[in-house]
Amino acid sequence: MHKPATPQPVLIIVLAGLFALFGLWTDATAQPRTLNAKCTLKIDGVVQIDDRCHFSSTADSDSFDDLRLLVVCPNGRDAAVADCAGYEQRVARQGVFGYLFRDSGVARLCWNEGSMRKAQSCFEGLRRTGACWSNPRATVSGDASRSRSVELCAWRS
């Protein structure tokens, strides 16, 4: 009985390298980002998100994203797939995203203010009530003399 040839380790390594080189290799654990929740974000009573969003959670942090933000390179191509330096990128379409960092029942929320490429506007001292994290007097990070009303809620859709 003839036994089929098994791939040689060198060939597998070469093929894996080619797949990686041409961006064809995918991580089996990578999941496409989908609108999987209903989110609301209010800053000083102004609604920033009240719609479906992408929401993910780990042991000590959450992330939220309305998946609308579009950052482009000078050639107009999406910066997520085109190759350009960060200083060359510009926001072509506004969208809201951010992070909630939890520690011992208190959280820090950072968001992109709807128009920035990075979530750098942060608030301290949020507490959880049900599906929401809020504080009517959340301290603005870096300036303990300033506070804002902040509320983030997320429900599975």
CA Rg value for the chain: 21
- With beta carbons less than 8 A apart as the criterion, state whether 132 and 102 touch: no
pTM: predicted TM-score of the whole model, two decimal places: 0.76
Three-state secondary structure call for residue 100: strand
Note whether 149 and 135 are within 8 A (CB): yes
Residue-wise pLDDT for 69-109, tens only, equals 999 999 999 999 999 999 999 999 999 999 999 999 999 99
